[in-house]
Structure 1
Amino acid sequence: MTETSTGTITAAPTEGEIHYPISIDNCGKGYTFTEIPKRVVVMNGGSVAEVSSLVALGVSDRIVANAQSYGASDVPGRAVAIDALPTGGIIPNSAQDIPREAILAQRPDFVISDYTGGFSADEGYATRKELAAAGANTYVPRGYCGATGSVVGTPSIEDSYALLRDLGAIFDVQGRADKLIADSESKIAATAAKVAGRPKKNVLLVFAGMDMGAGPDLPLIGATGIWNKIISTAGAVNPFERADGTAFVAISSEQLAVTPVDALVIVNYRIPDIDSVAKRLLAKFPQWEATKTGNYAVLSDSIYLGPSNDLAVDKIARLVHPEQF
C-alpha cells in the first residue's frame, strides 16, 4: 500500500504488474478501479494540466474525448499532441466544456474535471453520482477539490506532483510518474540553488487576452497560488501577491506606475503576436526597470498546475538572474 497526498492508494509498487482493484480517495470520496481506464473523458474548465499529465505519462491513447486545449505549450510538441487527441465530436457549451448528455453519450469509464464545479448539476454537467451509476470513476486535482464556478482553488507545485502520482497509479505507470516528479524536483532544486542569496527581483505576472474586468488597457495580473511559488523559487517576488486566495487582480495604471517592476512575465493564451503585446505594455510604463532593459519572458502552460513547472522556474530565474546561468 502506498500513500499519496490525495489519499491512500492500494497498489503494487512495480509498474506494469497486475495490481487491480485499487482504491483512491479524491475530494473526500472513495473510488475503486478494477482495471486501467479505457474510455477517458477530459473536461475543460480552462486547464491543460490534466491532459498534459496524461500525455506526459504516455497514456493519452486512452482518451476518447478531450476538451482541453491551450493552443501553446512550453514543452516542444505538446500543444500539437494535445490538439491531435479525439474530441468525441462533442459540441461544447457556452463555457467550452462538455454538457451532461454529451459526456454520458461517450460511455466513459473515467472522467477528469479540473475543478469540483465540473460535476455540478446546477452548471449543466453530469454529477459524480450520475457518472458512477453509468460506470465511470471521476477525478479532480486536489488543489481544486473545493472549487466551483465562482471559487477558485490555490494549487501548489506539490499538487502538480500529486496529480502525476494519482494518474500514475490509476493507469499503472507509477514508474513514469516517479521519474517525471524526480526529474522536475531535481531541476527545480538546481535552479533554486543557483539563485539562492541573490536579491529578490519584482516580477509582474500578466495574463494576456484575459479581461475579466481589467479593461482593454490594463493587464490582468496573477496574484496567488502556484504562480507565486514558482516566482519565489526562481529568486523573485510578485509585488501583487495576495494571501486571501484571489487568483487574479486588476491593478490601476496609477498603482502600476509607482510599482517597481524588474521583469515582466506574460502568459500566452492564443495571442498571435504575444511579443507585441508585451512590448506595448512595457512602453506604457517607461519608468520600469523591465522597460529600460526590455526584460520580459513569455510562458504558457508551465506556469499553471501541470507536469512542467520546472520549465517556468528555470525561465523566470534566467530572466531575473541571468548572471547565474
Structure 2
Amino acid sequence: MRLTHALFAVLALSACAPASTQPATTQKAAPGYPVTITNCGRPYSFTAPPRRTVLMSGGAVGQVSALLALGLDQQIAGNAQSYGTSDVPGRQAAIDRLPKVKIQQGGFDISRETMLSLRPDFVIGTTSYDFDAQNGYATRDELAAVGANSWLPNSTCGKTGTINGTQTIEDSYGMLRDFGKIYGVSAKAERLIAESKRQIAAIADKVRDEPKPRVMYIIPGMSMGSAEFSSIGGNGIWNDIFAKAGAVNAFHGQEVFLNLSKEQVAKTDVDAVVIINWRNPDPDAEARKLFAEFPQWGKKYVVLSDSAYLGPDNAVAVERIARMLHPDRF
C-alpha cells in the first residue's frame, strides 16, 4: 500500500491545523459549562457536551478509542476511524457498532459536503490534512461558521508532517484530559490516566535494571517513500513506549518514518521487532518474511495495532513489548 506524504504521518503522529475562530452560539450553558480548551494555540469554548461528534480518519484510531474508553459512544454521530483490529478486547466490536461515515471513492477522508450533511457540533481530526480545503474537506473556519468546534492533537501542531519534538505517552494523557473537559467527564479521564500511569510504572520498575534491547518498529507492506523500507518508525510515541518497556529504538531518527534501503537496514543491529498490524491479513507471515530476509536478527517479535499509537491504551503496548523482551521479569 502506498500513502501520500500528507496521510502517512497520521499513522503515528497528529499535526494541528492553523487555529480557527470559535463558533458563535447563543445556547444557554449546561451545568458545569461553559468550558474552554486551547487547541493549536486558539481557545475553543463549549456551552454543553457535544452531542453530534464526527471523527475523521486520517489513518488514525486513537481518538475514537479515547471516546469509547470515556463511555462517549452515544455522542458519536459519525466515525471514519478503524484499523479493523485492536489490542483491547471488545474495542473493535465497539468501533464497528458506531455510525459509519462513507469516504468518497478515491479520497482519504470525509468530504466537505458529507461532513456538513452530518450536522456536527464537534469534529475531531488527526492532522491539518483533515481540514484542508484543497483536499476537499471542510476547514475549521467553515465548521465554526455552522456551530461546530473542532480538535486536533496539540502534540504536533503545525502543517501536516511536521514534528515539534517527539510525541510521548503524556500526549495521550493530554488528549484524554481535553476530551474529559469537553464532554464533562474529567473525573473518568483522570481515573484512566492514573491507572495507565500505575500500570506503566509497575512494568518499568520490573525491567529497570535489565539490558536495553534494540527494537525495530515497522508497518510491513506499507510504502511511505521511494526506498524499499519506508515504514520504519523513527521519531514517534513508540520511542517512549520502548523506553518504558526496557528497550531502545534501533532506528531512532528525526523523521516520523524512515526511508531506508535494504543495505541500510541490514547494517543495523536489531534484537526484536514490533510488527504493526494495520489491516494486515497475516502480520505473523510478515514477521516470518522479515526474519528470512535478515536471519541475523533472530526471531523475537510482537504484533501490535492501536495501542502503539496516540490513544488511551499505551500501557497495553508497554506490557506486551516488555513481556516479549524480558519474559523472566514476569
Distance in structure 1 (CA, Å) of the matches to 2:231 and 2:103: 29
- Give the equivalent residue in structure 2 for 1:3: none
* Cα deviation, residue 121, structure 1: 1.5
What is residue 37 of structure 1 aligned with on the other side? 50
Name the residue aligned to 2:187.
175
Whether the 8 Å CA contact 1:114–1:140 is kept in 2: the answer is: yes
Bigger Cα displacement from structure 2, 262-271 vs 111-120: 111-120
The 3-state SS of whatever aligns with 2:155 is: helix
Check if 1:253 corresponds to 2:281.
no
Structure 1 residues 61 and 296, CA gap change in structure 2 (3 angstroms): same
Supply the distance in 1 between the matched residues of 2:212 and 2:309 (Cα, whole angstroms): 22
Q: Are 1:301 and 2:313 matched, yes or no?
A: no
Shift of 1:213: 2.6
8 Å Cα contact 2:219-2:277 kept in structure 1: yes
- After TM superposition, give the deviation of residue 220 of structure 1 in Å: 2.1
Map 1:215-226 onto structure 2 (within 5 A).
218=229, 220-226=231-237
Structure 2 Cα separation of the partners of residues 95 and 237 of structure 1: 36
Instruction: Supply the distance in 2 between the matched residues of 1:74 and 1:214 (Cα, whole angstroms).
Output: 30
Picking from 87, 90, 115, the partner of 1:77 is: 90
Give the structure 2 partner of residue 310 of structure 1.
Answer: 315
In the alignment, structure 2 segments of 5+ residues that lack a partner are 1-15, 17-29
Letter in 1 for 2:44: Y
SS in 2 for 1:287: helix
Of residues 111, 126, 139 in structure 2, which corresponds to 1:127? 139
Higher mean Cα deviation, 169-178 or 297-306? 169-178
Q: How far is the alpha carbon of 1:126 from its aligned partner?
A: 0.9
CA positional deviation for 1:209: 2.8
Offset, 1:31: 1.1
Give the whole-Å Cα distance in 1 for the aligned partners of 2:85 and 2:129: 25
CA distance in 2, matches of 1:60, 1:306: 16
Q: What is the rounded CA distance, in whole Å, between the counterparts of 1:42 and 1:108 in structure 2?
A: 10
Among 275, 278, 285, which residue is 1:276 paired with?
285
Using a 3 Å threshold, how does the CA distance of structure 1 residues 91 and 313 change in structure 2: closer, same or farther?
A: closer
What is the TM-score with the length of structure 1 in the denominator?
Answer: 0.88
8 A contact 1:93–1:99 mirrored in 2? no
Aligned-partner Cα distance in 2 for 1:223–1:104: 37
1:164 corresponds to: 176
- Structure with the bigger RCO (C-alpha within 8 Å, sep 6+) is 2
Match of residue 236, structure 1, among 247, 261, 267:
247
1:51-70 mapped onto 2 (5 Å cutoff)? 51-70=64-83
Question: What RMSD in Å do the two structures reach over aligned CA positions?
Answer: 1.8
The percentage of counterpart residues that share the same residue type is: 51
Tell me how far 1:321 sits from its aligned partner. Answer: 1.2
Letter in 1 for 2:245: A
Which residue is equivalent to 2:110?
98
CA distances 1:276-314 after superposition (whole Å, capped 9, x unpaired): 1101111111112xx2xx211000001100000011111
Deviation at 1:218, TM superposition (A): 3.9
Aligned-residue offset at 1:92: 2.9
Q: Decide whether the 8 Å contact of 1:69 with 1:82 is kept in 2.
A: yes
- Structure 2 length normalisation: TM-score? 0.87
Q: Do the aligned partners of residues 263 and 214 (structure 1) sit closer, same or farther apart at CA in structure 2, a change above 3 Å counting? A: farther
Say if 1:45 and 1:114, in contact at 8 Å, map to a contact too.
yes
Which range is displaced more, 135-144 or 183-192?
135-144
Tell me, in whole angstroms, the C-alpha distance in 2 between the residues paired with 1:155 and 1:105. 34
Residue type matched to 1:151 in 2?
A: T
* 1:12 alignment partner in structure 2: none
1:230-284: CA deviations, max 9, x gaps?
1111111112101x3x111132222322322111110001111111110111111
Q: Are the equivalent residues in 2 in contact too, given 1:109–1:137 (CA < 8 A)?
A: yes
Contact between 1:199 and 1:235, CA under 8 Å: does it hold in 2? yes
Deviation, structure 1 residue 214: 5.6
Task: Provide the C-alpha distance between the structure 2 equivalents of 1:52 and 1:101, rounded to a whole number of angstroms.
Answer: 26
SS at structure 1 position matched to 2:307 = helix
Amino acid at match of 2:306: D
CA contact (8 A) 1:114 1:144 kept: no
Q: Secondary structure at the match of 2:38?
A: strand
Instruction: Report the Cα distance in structure 2 between the residues aligned to 1:69 and 1:259, rounded to whole angstroms.
Output: 33
The one-letter code sitting in structure 1 at the alignment partner of 2:182 is: I
